[in-house]
Chain A
Amino acid sequence: MTQLSHYLDQLLFVAVPYVALVLFFLGTIYRYRAESFSYSSLSSQFLENKQHFWGMVPFHYGILTVLAGHAVAFLVPRSILAWNARPLRLYILEITALAFGAMTLVGLLAILARRRSSSKLLRVTSKADWVLYALLLFQLASGVYVAVSYPWGSSWFAATASPYLWSLAKLSPEVSWVAALPWVVKLHMLNAWLLIGFFPFTRLVHILVVPNPYLWRKRQVVRWNRDPRTARLIER
């Protein structure tokens, strides 16, 4: 039995992550090069503009904050542990994280309700969108559930998930860091890998083309024939 669960862990937390990462990088790069036309946020605000705000805004601000939290805990786990050494600071961090997680979940539910409420929107909702919604919903629901049921996640993430992720990054996977975690947490992690692997096949690719240069480019854009550099941009 333990042997079996060992192999299962190897499969789900070593094999699946690497497959997902390979898919992610190859998929997004290939898609950008071969089908750059398909890189779009596919906004549907044009078709439905009343409920749009109530889903999109909480969801996006929520997910950005939550993802940033995960990233910080992964990158600088010691600093997080040091911050959490004082109970008050721990409470502040946990409550903030939970609030943003809940906001994201509420946002996603509003998005789903909106999608289902308008026949115009159903017309532009693909199968990939529904799969993505299912994965996201599970991810957010399990995340909020874990935050409530297994408190102080900001600390134990730094002590379990962070070293596990680093072991993956260093190409010497060490499943033992997460083997003993509760099954909900494990499902949350597994689903995250599925999302990453599925990423190139969804509209999520719009995250990769967030418009940073806008902030420092010139306001007006002019393209000339005789400048070969910009002329080639038209082709790509």
Chain B
Amino acid sequence: MDVRSQVSMVFHLDKCIGCHTCSIACKNVWTDRQGTEYMWWNNVETKPGTGFPTAWEDQEKYQGGWELKKGELKLKSTGPAKVMANIFHNPHQPSMDDYYEPWTYDYETLFDAPEGDDQPVARPVSRVTGEYMEVEAGPNWDDDLGGSEIYAANDPNLDALTEEQRQQLSAVERLVMFYFPRICNHCLNPSCVASCPSGALYKRGEDGIVLIDQKRCRAWRSCIAACPYKKTYYNWQTGKSEKCILCYPRLETGQAPACFHSCVGRIRYLGVLLYDAERIEEVAKLPDDEIVEGQRSMILDPRDPEVVAAAKANGIPDDVIESACKSPVYRFVKEWKIALPPHLEFRTLPMLFYVPPMSPVMAGKDGDSVYHLTDNNLFHDIDQSRVPISYLAKLLGAGNEGLVRYALRKQKAVRLYRRALTVGDVDDASAARALREADCTVEEAEAIYRLTTLCTFDDRFVIPPMHREEAIQMIEEPHGHRQSVGFGFTAGPKRGL
């Protein structure tokens, strides 16, 4: 057993209201520089939808992630065999057209325009060329199903649906959507790291955060094609790739990452998971129907004395193990099993988990009157969700509908249980039956309820001590820097000649 700790995340999709506050918080802190305007280390997508960059889930097009070839894990895009063939021109790299051309407006015109017959308007100006441009795409072009006949219809996850389900999804009475916020998953088997010809990408041993060494990146662009989630971005100005850094400077000072901190719906949870690094390759090779449970089984119980002993032997500090015991992520993923990893079939073992969303109450239309479709008039039958289970399973369960059904059924049972307690229009017996059917005890239901709805800042973010003071001692002699202004280099990110 090779125990390591990983700062992991849960996003509760049922609580996401799609306000994009997280994206803006991230943009203001990290990506407002030239060359990064188009980057959204955190973005919120509408599902069904094609997301950002367009159709990122389509690995026929982008060749991201891993594939199993004769029992071996191989990078789909540029592995060692193809590195010299693809280094001059990467056939799978998305270009700016797959994202969008960033722009601003010439606001000065509104003030400076000479007097004339027409009102002056602020025209869009490209933030790459500085020239006037036509806006043809944006980071959220199909937000809230805008133009979904054109855009969302290309969502690769819709392949899991029957033709009838697809038809129903676009019927006005049955239209449905949910939001899907995304950051870097800080995977256990990251294909971006594995693809970097320069070895510039790395995973931090102590907390598992995946970073790009800016001084080693040479713009070979392999990581951009290799990441199946398209969460590494190319800075066209500095000639370096950049990605979500999970706000490690904030984490190291005990603060939640900017997107987590600013989340209005309080959908985000962060905490440490202990896992067995010895099993990474074995689990990444599991067939699709076993891989989700395989990944779950890698996550270790921080209260198990054997695990604690192995963790200590590996140098994991006591306060980190303590932090792992309080981790909300552990409860969602391992104890309650209601949070699932996105697209595990890409085999990168993402460490960001999603609680699948409940769909709106199901109603049908008969002439002018609207009626409930199911007998259970409070919550619909899970299997008749407006968002078909097969769709959610393609997105979050590597195709395993059972796992999604389990998570949804448990959420529904918790609601019925609370309804019986507080409103009283559900009788105790049927609430108890729902809990039993959902494999959920009363204590568990209570805990899920509390962590979902009454959670404070400290419940949601259990930030482990990062112990970076040890790292600084490795880099610099602290006494040599007394009375000076800090450690490290101060060179700005200047583009090469």
Question: Does residue A126 face the partner (Cβ distance < 8 Å to B)?
Answer: yes
Please determine whether A49 and B93 come into contact, CB atoms closer than 8 angstroms.
yes
Q: A46 and B96: CB pair below 8 A?
A: yes
Contact of A170 with B by CB under 8 A: no
| A176-227 with Cβ < 8 A to chain B | 201-203, 205-206, 209, 211, 213-215, 217, 219-227
Taking a contact as CB atoms under 8 Å apart, the answer to whether B197 and A214 are in contact is yes
- Flag whether B482 is at the interface (Cβ < 8 A): no
Which residues of the other chain, B, contact A46 by a CB distance below 8 angstroms? 93-96, 221, 234, 236
Q: When the two chains form their complex, are residues B96 and A213 in contact, meaning their CB atoms are under 8 A apart? A: no
With contacts A44-B236, A126-B497, A231-B471 taken as known, whether A213 is within 8 angstroms of B199 at the C-beta atoms is yes
Given the known interface contacts A45-B221, A231-B474, the answer about A215 and B128 at a Cβ–Cβ threshold of 8 Å is no
Cβ proximity bits A98-128 to B, threshold 8 Å, 1 near / 0 not? 0000000000000000000001101110101
Contact of B194 among A52, A59, A220, A224 (CB under 8 A): A220
The answer to the question of A96 belonging to the interface, with a C-beta cut-off of 8 Å to chain B, is no
Residue pair B203, A47 in contact (C-beta under 8 Å)? no
The answer to the question of B129 belonging to the interface, with a C-beta cut-off of 8 Å to chain A, is yes
Report the bound CA distance from A124 to B129 in whole Å: 9
Determine which of B95, B96, B199, B215 lies in contact with A217 in the assembled complex, contact meaning CB atoms within 8 Å. B199
Enumerate chain A residues within 8 angstroms of B384, measured Cβ to Cβ: none
**Closest CB-CB distance, A19 to chain B, in whole Å?**
19
User: Are A220 and B190 in touch, CB under 8 angstroms?
Assistant: yes
B491:A35 contact, CB within 8 angstroms: yes
B491 touches A222 (CB 8 A): no
* Beta-carbon contact of A232 and B474 below 8 Å: yes
Q: How far is the CB of B346 from chain A (nearest CB, A)?
A: 15
Q: Say whether, besides A48-B95, A202-B497, A231-B475, A223 and B197 are in contact (CB < 8 Å).
A: no
- Interfacial residues of chain B within 171-194, with CB under 8 A of chain A in the complex: 189-190, 193-194
Given A57-B89, A214-B198, A221-B203, A209–B497 Cβ distance below 8 Å?
Answer: no
Does A87 have its Cβ within 8 Å of any Cβ on chain B? no
- The verdict on A133 contacting chain B, using a C-beta distance below 8 Å, is no
Closest chain B CB from A234 CB (angstroms): 7
Q: Are A223 and B204 in contact (CB under 8 A)?
A: yes
Contacts of B193 in A (CB 8 A): 219-221
Q: Say yes or no: B218 contacts A39, CB within 8 Å.
A: yes
Task: Given A36-B215, A40-B219, A46-B236, check contact A215 B80 (CB 8 Å).
Answer: yes
Say yes or no: A220 contacts B220, CB within 8 Å: no
**Are B197 and A42 in contact (CB-based, < 8 A)?**
no
Q: Which of B91, B217, B474 contacts A228 (CB 8 A)?
A: B474
Partner of A38, one of B196, B204, B494: B494
Stretch at the interface among B237-245, B303-311, B332-340: B237-245
Q: Which of A37, A45, A203 contacts B89 (CB 8 A)?
A: A45
> Which chain A residues lie closer than 8 Å to B201 at the CB level?
221
Interface presence of A89 (CB below 8 A): no
Query: How big is the B interface, by class?
Result: 35 or more
Instruction: Assess whether B219 is in contact with A42, with CB atoms less than 8 Å apart.
Output: yes
Whose C-beta in chain A lies nearest to the C-beta of B224?
A46
Are B474 and A225 in contact (CB-based, < 8 A)?
Answer: yes
Contact residues in B for A205 (Cβ distance below 8 Å) = 496
- A residues within 8 A CB of B379? none
Determine the distance from Cα of A31 to Cα of B90 in the docked complex, in whole angstroms: 27
Which of B131, B197, B238 has a CB less than 8 Å from the CB of A211?
B197
B94: chain A residues within 8 A (beta carbon): 46
- Chain B residues near A49: list those with CB within 8 A: 93, 95, 97
Does B287 reach chain A (CB closer than 8 Å)?
A: no
Q: B221 to A42, Cβ gap below 8 A?
A: no
Q: Is A5 an interface residue (CB 8 A)?
A: no
Q: How far is the CA of A168 from the CA of B190 in the complex (A)?
A: 49
CA A162 to CA B221, docked complex, whole Å: 38
Q: How far is the CB of B281 from chain A (nearest CB, A)?
A: 9
Taking a contact as CB atoms under 8 Å apart, the answer to whether A214 and B496 are in contact is no
Contact with A along B448-468 (1 / 0, CB 8 A): 000000000000000000011
Question: Smallest CB–CB gap between A5 and chain B, Å?
Answer: 35
Chain B CB count within 10 A is highest, among A56, A214, A221, for A214
Q: Which residues of A contact B471 (CB under 8 A)?
A: 225, 231, 234
When the two chains form their complex, are residues B218 and A236 in contact, meaning their CB atoms are under 8 A apart? no
Chain A residues with Cβ under 8 A from B89's Cβ? 45, 52-53, 56-57
Contacting B470 at CB < 8 Å: which of A120, A123, A225? A225
Interface members, chain B 6-60 (any A CB < 8 Å)? none
What A residues does B90 contact at CB under 8 A?
Answer: 45
Measured CB to CB, the nearest residue on chain A to B90 is A45
Give which listed residue, B97, B217, B489, contacts A40 with CB less than 8 A: B217
B 190-233 to A, binary, CB cutoff 8 A, 1 in contact else 0: 10011011110111111000000111111111000000000000
Q: Is the CB of B218 within 8 A of A223?
A: no
Given A41-B239, A214-B199, 18 more contacts at CB 8 Å?
Answer: A36-B215, A37-B240, A38-B495, A40-B238, A41-B218, A43-B221, A46-B96, A47-B128, A53-B89, A201-B497, A211-B83, A211-B198, A219-B193, A220-B194, A221-B203, A225-B471, A228-B474, A235-B488
Q: What would be 20 A-B contacts, judged by CB atoms less than 8 Å apart? A: A37-B214, A39-B218, A41-B219, A42-B239, A45-B93, A47-B236, A56-B89, A57-B89, A60-B88, A126-B495, A128-B497, A214-B83, A214-B199, A215-B83, A219-B194, A220-B194, A222-B203, A224-B204, A225-B205, A235-B488
Interface residues of B (CB under 8 A from A): 80, 83, 87-91, 93-97, 128-131, 189-190, 193-194, 196-199, 201-206, 213-221, 234, 236-240, 315, 467-468, 470-471, 474-476, 488-489, 491, 493-497
8 shortest interchain CB distances as A-B pairs: A211-B197, A231-B474, A38-B496, A49-B95, A224-B205, A40-B239, A42-B239, A219-B194
Query: What residues of chain A have their CB less than 8 Å away from a CB belonging to chain B?
Result: 35-49, 52-53, 56-57, 59-61, 119-120, 122-124, 126, 128, 201-203, 205-206, 209, 211, 213-215, 217, 219-228, 231-236
